[in-house]
A and B are shown apart, each in its own frame.
Chain A
Amino acid sequence: MAEITEVPSPFCGIGTDDLNIQVDGVALKVVKNGCAINTPAFEQVITDTLPRVEGKEVSLEVAVAKAAVLLKDTNQPLIGGCATDVNGMRALLALADRSGAVVDNMSFTGARNNFLALQDSGWMNTTLAEIKNRCDLLLVVGTDLESFSPRFFERYLWNEESMFLDDTSKREVIYLGKAPSGEASTSPNGQKAKVFECANADLPEVVAVLRALVKGNPIRVDFVGGIAVTDLQSIADKLKAATYSVVTWAAGALAFSQAELTVQTISEMVKDLNNRNTRSSGFPLGGKEGDQTANQVCGWTTGYPARTRFSSGYPEYDPYLNDANVLLANGEADTLVWVQAFNAKAVPPITTLPTIVVGRSGMTFTQEPDVFIPVGTPGIDHAGHAYRMDNVVAIRLKKLRESGLPSTFDVLNAIEQAL
């Protein structure tokens, strides 16, 4: 039995790399610094080791050959999931380029709220170490941060020391929209976060009023979305008075129509603050199951984020029309390849189309795919790279055990070569 230290996690999005993991054969046990997300993700046991074609166990070669046959005579293959490491995405995009597929990351509909705002007006953002050392006011919009990232507060807000704050426990946390589900946001000296709840559907209005108050525009109502304008004024005043405020949100949590406009309002408010003689930064949350990784690698390979098609012979981006679910619903695809190396529970959508699943060992299906190839998990079964939520830092994933499972890259590259 061996214990591996300083293990980085691709699961929690915040790039924790202080886990200790005991390895006993292929069994893993997180013995230090686990959390509700990382511990089960690392400890999940291997069940499948052999690929299946039509439910029957076959060799990898047979499964790859069958996948290639399915892809060869298609008019519009669709590659969904797209949840893997950098090398896995490289092979995925090479396969898509060769087969003329549509590529769609499974988290894109949420992330689209960010991309539309970014591509329309841009933003001023920051990264985790700046938050850890500078942030004196954290405004959390529409998101339950601790269920998203259980260790965010411990690692990046209530850290014992910071370079530029005398006492990190004096940082202020404000929730706007959703209330926190637990006590992680309560500071070590007992100071609770201020919470201003409203319905999701009211967030666009609430955020718009907050921005107006930051700019000093008059507001002629007393309440918006159930929140007193005087309370929003106090948030605006704190943002203006802070030395380095950070406004954070999870694009996927803003589950209402045209939430991109709310992301844009937040981002423009941050710009406004920086024009008022103080510093402020936005901080979009994400980084789970390879979402940032998919968008980064697709970005440098095609110029576009990971909702891009290759059916014309060159990449074409459309954040709506290339949605895998839309294509399936409209009968516009004729083969589905589902790639999910991190999460055995994230199974492909139910479809009558020929389906190839390149997935984490342990996936169970209500409808057995035509081809299932279990692959290793990046950061457990093989080394690799994954982006954390701040989209700047790529963490170096370690190989923890010898499972014999192939990597996503191995499998997709073999299928491409067989075409």
Chain B
Amino acid sequence: MLIKLTNGAVYDPASGVDGTKQDIYIQDGRIVNKPVGDDPVDKEFDLSGKVVMSGAIDMHTHIGGGKGNIARILLPEDHRQDPVARTDVTRSGCGHAMPSTFVTGYRYAEMGYTAGFEPAVLPINARQAHMEMADIPILDKGGYVLLGSDDYLLRMLTAKKDQKAINDYVAFTMQAAKAIGVKVVNPGGINAFKFNQRKLDLDEQNCHYGVTPRDILQVLATAVKEIGVSHPLHVHGCNLGVPGNVNTTLDTIQGIGGLPMHLTHIQFHSYGTEGDFKFSSGAAQIAEAVNKNKNITIDVGQILFGQTVTASGDNMRQHANHKFASPNKWVTMDIECDAGCGVVPFKYKDQNFVNALQWAIGLETFLLVEDPWRIFLTTDHPNGAPFTSYPHLIRLLMDRSFRNDVLSTIHPEAQKMTNLASIEREYSLQEIAIMTRAGAAKLIGLQDRGGLSAGNWADITVYTDNVDRQKMFEKPDYVFKDGQLVVVDGKVVSTKWGTTHVVKPDFDASLEKDLQKYFDRFMTMKLGNFKISDDEITEDGRGSLTIHPLNGEVA
């Protein structure tokens, strides 16, 4: 079957195409060159007046794993506000803050997204993350495996194991958990909380291991680079949410010494202590540091006003934040000498000074970081806001007068504490396409995704150009996933199953001898039963694995 998309304005930053009218051909799930012979076009879409981008990729969204399911079970009253009925082509479920898996897939696709990456896959809970993601239709998915508070790594650091040994352990864990990246959350802090430490600064020692967050970041960032994983170490830093943490974040950037590092939901880590309320924006300093240090990438973790739920591996900080829980119920867990989690419902209010300034800090960050290839559009779903708020966020970035209208309604003291009103920048369509497509695919190291040139998989979104960017981005005309038309006029018309993106870095097999001893002595399962086999992803006949090349090998 040959499909032709005719005459659309194509925004494809991966090949430098910026709004040029071009035809796109699709065959066997991929984008192909214009056929040279007389191959008949089976189906043609006239895209005059339409905007064409590749399918969007959410590079940081909590869509799979135990903490998300705790968040679901915790909030029946939220689901009751947004029931989703079954249709001829879709399953029933629930929406709003933490949607059911099926609804997650449908609603992402209905906004033009075709891939999402779970950023906090606990090795011991990786099966659950993959099983949940296996029940998310349409989207491709993948996960970043969480290390840094696991006792095995901390024991290695205390024992002064060399970098090579740590590289082997990181590579082993990526394979065992079927990951495409490595994440660290409050480095060592989740572990320290189990020893009753309630805060852990960048240079503060874990009271049992004597290891600091800085040590952990250094060895993990080095490991990720040396084993050749494209996605830099994905860092949820120390002191999330603490006023004054901008200094920690700046120190983290300086301290990594030029190694590739991705700082996630940086909005939550960009707070100063100025002003009457001892809470101020550090966005300008952060943006300056990001602009200067080309090894750094960030995603924002924008907050938007309304009810949501925060689900994080950072049980230390989530426990500290439980006093803000709204409604007042919350969960933390210590997990398997591996990590932890904390789930705290939040209601961000525009008339609350702190929340209002958080909103402004996120937007300042977006607008002050110059290179759209190094900043990514996230709300840290569902922590800053549910992913369904992305079209609204895009409008805030692309439309200064709209942005300033909203700004004029938030808490007046917060308005005084932000320079947002004076920032003139408006994102272009091409910049949005970079942040949400080409840049994300490049950052994660996805081969043949995030672009519209021949050879790419045909993940394609078609919008009607509209000055109201929220309306434009919330209802694409068409979405194709692997060449299959899955959405028309913002509604799912057919479904399919996406693939799971992984890398498989090599490691020295002798590592498993020591790991086996460790598992037998201290863990609760056998090492052989810990490792996830390929079958577990593929045996249901729906899932598949796509193995991406390591650094330097990407075509």
| Interface, chain A (partner B; CB < 8 A) | 6, 8, 15, 17-18, 86-87, 90, 94, 97-98, 115, 118-130, 132-134, 155-156, 160-164, 243-244, 274, 277-279, 281, 295-296, 299-305, 310, 312-317, 383, 385, 390-396
Contact = CB atoms under 8 A, between A and B. Distances in A.
A301 B526 contact: no
Interface stretch (B43-51, B77-85, B428-436): B77-85
Given A130-B337, A164-B208, A302 B86 contact: no
A390 B132 CA distance: 18
Contacts of A121: 328-329
B125 A392 contact: yes
B423 to A, nearest CB: 39
Given A132-B522, A162-B522, A299-B69, A244 B91 contact: no
A346 B352 CA distance: 54
A122 B331 contact: yes
Nearest to A96: B92
Nearest to B134: A90
Contacts of B523: 129
B160 interface: no
Contacts of A394: 125, 127-128, 131
A385 B131 contact: yes
Interface in B193-212: 193-196, 208
Nearest to B136: A300
Contacts of B94: 302-304, 314-315
Contacts of A97: 86, 91-92
Given A87-B540, A128-B336, A393 B74 contact: no
B76 interface: yes
A376 to B, nearest CB: 15
Nearest to B69: A299
B529 A130 contact: no
A15 B523 CA distance: 12
A304 B76 contact: yes
- Most chain B beta-carbon contacts within 10 A, residue among A94, A125, A301, A317: A301
- Most chain A beta-carbon contacts within 10 A, residue among B80, B92, B124: B92
Contact of B526 (A6, A134, A302, A303): A6
Please list the 10 inter-chain residue pairs (A to B) with the smallest Cβ-Cβ separation, ordered nearest first: A303-B94, A314-B83, A303-B79, A313-B85, A129-B336, A122-B329, A394-B127, A122-B330, A314-B85, A128-B524
B529 A17 contact: yes
Given A300-B135, A304-B79, A127 B334 contact: yes
B131 A86 contact: yes
A302 B95 CA distance: 9
Nearest to A244: B194
A301 B335 CA distance: 24
Interface size class of B (residues with CB under 8 A): 35 or more
B100 interface: yes
B99 A18 contact: no
B126 to A, nearest CB: 9
B337 A133 contact: yes
Nearest to B518: A163
Nearest to A128: B524
10 contacts: A98-B86, A124-B333, A127-B524, A129-B523, A160-B521, A279-B196, A303-B72, A314-B86, A393-B124, A394-B128
Contacts of B85: 312-314
A390 B330 CA distance: 17
Contact of B86 (A155, A313, A393): A313
Contacts of A391: 66
Given A279-B196, A393-B125, 14 more contacts: A17-B529, A94-B91, A118-B74, A120-B329, A124-B331, A132-B522, A134-B194, A279-B195, A299-B72, A300-B131, A304-B94, A315-B83, A390-B336, A392-B333
A243 B334 CA distance: 14
Contacts of B194: 130, 134, 244, 279
A133 B131 CA distance: 28
Interface of B: 66, 68-69, 72-76, 79-80, 83-86, 91-94, 98-102, 122, 124-125, 127-128, 131-132, 135, 151, 155, 193-196, 208, 319, 325, 328-338, 343, 521-526, 528-529, 532-533, 535-536, 539-540
A130 B336 CA distance: 5
B131 A127 contact: no
Given A300-B135, A303-B72, A17 B536 contact: no
A296 B335 contact: no
A410 to B, nearest CB: 11
Contacts of A86: 131
A119 B521 CA distance: 36
A393 B524 contact: yes
A244 B337 CA distance: 13
B538 to A, nearest CB: 12
Nearest to B155: A163
Contacts of B337: 129-130, 133, 163
B76 A303 contact: yes
B61 to A, nearest CB: 15
Contacts of A164: 208
B131 A129 contact: no
A296 B529 contact: no
A119 B100 contact: no
Contacts of B68: 300
Nearest to A391: B66
B156 to A, nearest CB: 13
A163 B337 CA distance: 10
Contacts of B76: 119, 303-304, 317
Given A15-B525, A118-B73, A383-B535, A124 B196 contact: no
A47 B127 CA distance: 33
A58 to B, nearest CB: 27
Given A124-B332, A392-B336, A133 B125 contact: no
B73 A126 contact: no
Contact of B524 (A155, A299, A396): A155
B100 A393 contact: no
A299 B540 contact: no
Nearest to A130: B334
A124 B331 CA distance: 6
B409 to A, nearest CB: 32
Contacts of A301: 91, 93, 100-102, 135
